[in-house]
Structure 1
Amino acid sequence: MVAQEFIVDLDKPLVFQVGHLGEAYQEWVHQPIVSKEGPRFFESDFWEFLTRTVWWAIPVIWLPVVCWNISVSMRMGCSLPEIALIVAFGILIWTLLEYFLHRFLFHIKTKSYWGNTMHYLLHGCHHKHPMDGLRLVFPPAAATVLCVPFWNLLKLMSTPSTTPALFGGFLLGYVMYDVTHYYLHHGQPTSVVPRNLKKYHLNHHFRIQNKGFGITSSLWDKVFGTLPPSKSAQKSK
């Protein structure tokens, strides 16, 4: 069977199907299916369970870790003004990582079987089913594993007394990112800032998917030149 002729059966678990799409995968995955009913990923109930996360689990699990890390730095002698600056810097580091991960990893071009499969698990599933409410936040089990290299990286950038607070700020940035991401898909903002942010993110999903990589803000899109053009600018071309 030619890879491009493969048709995904949406009534069967998807993860081990999408790799067969080959070069056609990129086109397929960026044609969203707008439904709150998410697809099944795996035959195994255990692995399927690990792919589904309610949004409120993120603050419930990670905010105590944030507070504990900040308290460690305070017990090691950091003042409140120092803690505030360190935490703010940690959040800033997260926003930069958020941008780079989204732009260069989540939107990597794949065409091999395992490349497509891994991309679908990492981010492709979100573009294919953007309203799947149980796959909008990062599974805590996977996040726990990733905490180890990020802790070690931040430890290289700071002193023993500031590392915990820096990591706490970094995790706080992550929590803000994940709950914001969920809200942008399922919330109904009434004030200007969140309403514009929702429009900005849905624009990335449904209009220009290779621009607008920021989730919590458009800061790094402005810095690195990936702001999506306005509709009026596109029409004038």
Structure 2
Amino acid sequence: MPPAQPSSGRIFQNPILEALTKTHIAIPLTIFYGLGIASGHVSVHILGYSVLHTLSFYAVGALFFTLIEYLAHRYLYHMGTAGSARKVRLQYIMHGIHHDHPRDKKRLALPPLLSVVLATLFMGLFRLILGPSGIAFGGGYMTGYATYLMVHYAVHTMNPPKNIFGVLWKHHNLHHYVGDTGAFGVSSPLWDHIFGTMPEDPKARRKVATT
């Protein structure tokens, strides 16, 4: 018999709305890696910036995404909900269902429609603040987002690799299965180290206790 499929839960009773909460991971990866590549092309070949200038803004944009990823996960997706039924519902729609069904492959990324709307707003904001250089910055940001999606999908659907990237599996599993008050970074544990939200590894604690 084939292995049982992971449960997915349900957010909306309306089948159309429910369908809009799901996506195949290939769709957002194609959109946002494509947007990242296109932004680099525009920066160099249309706006006339040097490759070094473009790559510099691209890299800073990707790094900036990891900070936004951390802050959104910590303060938005894990917002306090005490005493507010609306906040409980909102938090469940945004993120709680993922914690209840972490292996649901179709809910490991924002739905494409919402993602494209947010991407448009962010790209416009970067262009407004940084001028034409905001195109390369935004391209790096979108590439960072696509990489986050790829890492998140891999962590929840694949066995951890026996190399340095296995750290990402371990880090995110601490968030899901040890305590969701830490390990908020997904694509990188960098900001957890900086802001002091690295949870204690229970295996390391047990090892110390037995020595």
Q: Give me the TM-score of the superposition, normalised by structure 1.
A: 0.79
CA apart distance, 1:156: 4.5
Deviations 1:136-195 (A, max 9, x none): 1111111122124322432344232x1111111100000000111010011123232222
Task: Determine helix, strand or coil for the equivalent of 1:192.
Answer: coil
The equivalences for 1:1-237 within 5 A come to 36-74=6-44, 75-111=46-82, 112-160=84-132, 162-231=133-202, 232-233=204-205
Unaligned segments of structure 1, at least 5 residues: 1-34
Distance 2:6 2:124 in 1: 38
Task: Determine helix, strand or coil for the equivalent of 1:229.
Answer: coil
Deviations 1:57-114 (A, max 9, x none): 1222222222222211112111112211111111001000000000111111114221
CA apart distance, 1:205: 0.3
Deviations 1:38-59 (A, max 9, x none): 1122221110110111111122
Distance 1:56 1:211 in 2: 29
Q: Give me the TM-score of the superposition, normalised by structure 2.
A: 0.89
Question: Is the 1:94–1:170 contact (alpha carbons within 8 Å) kept by the matching residues of 2?
Answer: yes
Distance 2:164 2:128 in 1: 35
Question: Is the 1:102–1:213 contact (alpha carbons within 8 Å) kept by the matching residues of 2?
Answer: yes
Deviations 1:176-224 (A, max 9, x none): 0011101001112323222221011011101021011010111001111
Distance 2:166 2:36 in 1: 28
Superposed CA RMSD: 1.9
Question: Is the 2:174–2:201 contact (alpha carbons within 8 Å) kept by the matching residues of 1?
Answer: no
Question: Is the 2:183–2:189 contact (alpha carbons within 8 Å) kept by the matching residues of 1?
Answer: yes
Unaligned segments of structure 2, at least 5 residues: none
Distance 2:22 2:119 in 1: 20
Question: Is the 2:9–2:97 contact (alpha carbons within 8 Å) kept by the matching residues of 1?
Answer: no
Distance 1:144 1:57 in 2: 11
Question: Is the 2:28–2:146 contact (alpha carbons within 8 Å) kept by the matching residues of 1?
Answer: yes
